[in-house]
């Protein structure tokens, strides 16, 4: 399953640039240099902790971010 989100940009001066989430096979656009982090999260579904990857940045009084995680078993 793939989710796609888009945002309307009222700030034409922002220079959108691509960023790649290689392990998820996704390409996203950010209006600033995105920082990357990873943290283990337990979603409480008897799977234990899964590594959640986050990418984001701040530009023109807004925060732009995306997070994702890969599961061994989609059930």
pLDDT in tens, 21-33: 877 788 899 999 9
Question: For the chain (length 75 residues), average pLDDT per consecutive 10?
Answer: 52 80 85 91 84 91 89 69
> What is the model's pLDDT at position 30?
93
Q: Is the pTM of this model over 0.85?
A: no
Give the C-alpha distances (Å, rounded to integers) separating 17 from 14, 30, 31: 9, 5, 6
Beta bridge partners of 57: 64
Quote the tokens at residue 15.
Answer: 């220079």
């Amino acid at each position: 399953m793939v989710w796609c989100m888009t945002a309307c940009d009222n700030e034409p001066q922002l220079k959108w640039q691509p960023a790649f989430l290689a392990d998820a096979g996704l390409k996203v656009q950010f209006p600033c240099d995105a920082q990357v982090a990873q943290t283990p999260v337990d979603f409480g579904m008897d799977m234990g902790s899964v590594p959640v990857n986050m990418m984001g940045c701040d530009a023109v009084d807004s925060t732009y971010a995306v997070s994702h995680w890969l599961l061994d078993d989609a059930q």
